[in-house]
């Protein structure tokens, strides 16, 4: 049922434990795990972006841990490749929005109890939840309550990866303090989150944004434009797309409708109508439709192709290289709001962010939001670098008009490329801020990644 990863010790256990022997009052995570001869990690992710973060964290833990690792929990295909046997399909948790969640509440309660039961039986040293704060925080809160209520021994340390976006909502910061009751440590992916969390009594570490792992792996930190990437002979354009679509006079647009079924069902028909409006002004238009690692989404998009008005190629999930190669041969992108907006900036691909939801969810967002933007690049830069089409403005006519401008207006395109340079610097912790963590784990600064810093924090963590 459970899988033990086959890993090599990166350095002797005695070296690791000695490094943290200065903590006299209690033991670090790895010290406690040493008593059992293995480190047991219960990890949960409920969506595609979290599956990516979770898989990289698992990989980094295996690289750094001096002990064998055992994983259990809930995750997607990427986490399963790292040794996780998922309790149930990750897609069962992939629901967003308050009103959209209501029909699924009973199923969520069943899955929550199943997950808590499995965690208690597994007896983990560490519990890690990734994003999906609705399910994650209920899990951590009820799991801790069960340990306390049943007076179970060896309560695990609770980590949550991706701090809640308290900065986006009215009164958000005031609710942070309650997290300390069931979250021992937060991994923050944005600048200033760590400081605010600590000010409200929540231990936190700024590890950097997960897309920095893409930059590290594919050397995307350099300044380059999509047109320049096209000339580099990327495998995607050479081997994966029929040459008829890659003619020099083709207009190629990456389309990213989302990772959850409900948002894809809402957004893809709108995107389809927008492409129909673009067909006449761009007669050689080609679309690359990126399909999330979600079987339900895959099936839905496959069925929708029969009504798609222009030539289209599905870009499958699972390969970061393939995704960025697709960005590299595109002239623009149309995406649903999410992590992908940052990925597109990393690729320096001019893009349009769109978003629609249930009308009651939209009303709630308008009432509670305290920032004027929805996409992370615009929020961090405090400027509408990326055009956004939200709520009623997210209609086929408006989307087509903005995409047309993106394709033809060089100043508009250049503005996004310049903004991307500033954004990437903001998302990366300075070496001085990483100093203690790097020193404790022996990580070389040039090998730093967010997941490595998070993994080193977990292994050396001492619960106060």
Q: Which CATH architecture has domain 214-425?
A: 3-Layer(aba) Sandwich (3.40)
State the pTM of this model: 0.83
CA-to-CA distance for 458 and 464, rounded, in angstroms?
A: 14
pLDDT reported for residue 246: 54
CA-to-CA distance for 254 and 239, rounded, in angstroms?
A: 18
Q: What is the residue extent of each domain of the chain?
A: 3-208+429-460, 214-425
What CATH code would you report for 3-208+429-460?
3.40.50
Q: Please indicate whether the domains covering 3-208+429-460 and 214-425 agree at the CATH topology level.
A: yes
List Cα–Cα distances, 289 to 186, 292, 294, 302, 386, in angstroms: 34, 10, 14, 10, 20
Side by side, the strands of the sheet bearing 332-336 are 312-315, 285-290, 251-256, 332-336, 351-355, 388-390
Which of 190, 406, 104, 413 lies closest to 282 in space, CA to CA? Answer: 406
pLDDT reported for residue 224: 43
Helix 295-304 vs helix 261-278: crossing angle, to nearest 10: 30
Give the 3-state DSSP-derived string for 367-413, with helices as H, strands as E and coil as C: HHECCCCCCHHHHHHCCCCCCEEEHHHCCHHHHHHHHHHHHHCHHHH
Which residues of the chain carry a pLDDT beneath 70?
Answer: 1-26, 94-104, 218-248, 430-447
CB atoms within 10 A of CB 179: 25
Q: 């995307």: which residue's tokens? A: 220
């Amino acid at each position: 049922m459970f899988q033990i990863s086959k890993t090599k010790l990166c350095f002797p256990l005695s070296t690791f434990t000695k490094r943290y022997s200065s903590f006299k009052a209690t033991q670090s995570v790895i010290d406690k795990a040493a008593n059992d001869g293995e480190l047991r990690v219960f990890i949960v992710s409920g969506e595609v972006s979290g599956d990516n973060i979770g898989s990289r964290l698992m990989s980094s833990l295996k690289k750094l841990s001096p002990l064998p690792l055992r994983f259990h929990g809930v995750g997607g295909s990427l986490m399963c490749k790292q040794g996780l046997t998922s309790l149930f399909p990750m897609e069962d948790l992939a629901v967003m929005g308050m009103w959209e969640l209501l029909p699924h509440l009973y199923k969520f309660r069943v899955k929550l109890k199943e997950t808590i039961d499995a965690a208690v039986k597994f007896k983990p040293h560490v519990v890690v939840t990734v994003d999906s704060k609705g399910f994650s925080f209920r899990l951590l809160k009820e799991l801790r309550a069960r340990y306390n209520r049943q007076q179970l021994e060896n309560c695990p340390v609770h980590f949550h990866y991706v701090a809640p976006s308290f900065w986006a909502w009215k009164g958000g910061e005031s609710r942070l303090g309650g997290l300390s009751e069931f979250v021992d440590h937060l991994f923050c992916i944005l600048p200033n989150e760590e400081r605010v969390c600590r000010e409200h009594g929540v231990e936190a570490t700024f590890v950097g944004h997960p897309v920095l792992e893409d930059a590290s792996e594919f050397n995307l930190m350099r300044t380059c434009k999509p047109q320049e990437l096209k000339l580099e002979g990327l495998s995607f354009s050479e081997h994966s797309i029929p040459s008829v679509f890659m003619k020099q006079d083709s207009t190629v647009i990456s389309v990213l409708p989302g990772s959850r079924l409900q948002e894809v069902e809402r957004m893809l028909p709108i995107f389809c109508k927008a492409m129909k409006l673009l067909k006449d002004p761009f007669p050689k238009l080609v679309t690359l439709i990126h399909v999330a690692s979600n079987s339900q989404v895959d099936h839905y998009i496959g069925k929708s192709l029969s009504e798609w008005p222009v030539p289209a190629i599905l870009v499958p999930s699972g390969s970061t290289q393939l995704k960025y190669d697709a960005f590299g041969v595109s002239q623009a992108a149309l995406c649903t709001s999410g992590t992908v907006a940052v990925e597109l900036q990393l690729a320096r691909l001019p893009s349009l962010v769109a978003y629609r939801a249930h009308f009651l969810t939209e009303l709630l967002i308008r009432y509670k939001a305290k920032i004027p933007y929805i996409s992370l690049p615009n929020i961090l830069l405090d400027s509408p670098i990326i055009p956004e089409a939200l709520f009623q403005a997210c209609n086929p006519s408006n989307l087509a008009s903005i995409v047309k401008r993106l394709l033809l207006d060089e100043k508009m395109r250049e503005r996004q490329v310049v903004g991307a340079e500033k954004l990437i610097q903001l998302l990366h912790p300075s070496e001085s801020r990483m100093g203690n963590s790097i020193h404790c784990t022996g990580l070389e600064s040039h090998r730093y990644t967010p997941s490595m810093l998070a993994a080193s924090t977990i292994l050396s963590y001492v619960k106060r």
